[in-house]
Chain A
Amino acid sequence: DTAVSQTPKYLVTQMGNDKSIKCEQNLGHDTMYWYKQDSKKFLKIMFSYNNKELIINETVPNRFSPKSPDKAHLNLHINSLELGDSAVYFCASSSAQDYGYTFGSGTRLTVV
Chain B
Amino acid sequence: GENVEQHPSTLSVQEGDSAVIKCTYSDSASNYFPWYKQELGKGPQLIIDIRSNVGEKKDQRIAVTLNKTAKHFSLHITETQPEDSAVYFCAVNTGGFKTIFGAGTRLFVKA
Contacts and interface: CB of A to CB of B under 8 A. Distances in A.
Interface of A: 4, 31, 40-45, 48, 50, 55-56, 58, 90, 92, 97-106
Given A43-B89, A90-B43, A106-B42, A101 B104 contact: no
B98 A48 contact: yes
Contacts of A90: 43-44
Contact of B46 (A4, A101, A106): A101
B93 to A, nearest CB: 5
A89 to B, nearest CB: 11
Given A90-B43, A100-B34, A101-B46, A56 B87 contact: no
Mostly, the B contact residues are strand
B42 A45 contact: no
Interface of B: 31-32, 34, 36, 38, 41-46, 49, 87, 89, 93, 95-101, 103-104, 106
A40 B38 CA distance: 13
A29 to B, nearest CB: 12
B97 A41 contact: no
A45 B104 contact: no
Contact of B98 (A45, A100, A102): A45
A36 B48 CA distance: 22
Contacts of A4: 43
Contact of B97 (A44, A48, A103, A105): A48
Contacts of A31: 97
B43 A41 contact: no
Contact of A98 (B87, B93, B101, B106): B93
Contacts of B89: 43
Given A101-B46, A103-B44, 16 more contacts: A4-B43, A41-B103, A41-B106, A43-B101, A48-B97, A56-B98, A97-B96, A97-B97, A98-B31, A98-B93, A98-B95, A99-B32, A100-B34, A100-B49, A103-B36, A105-B42
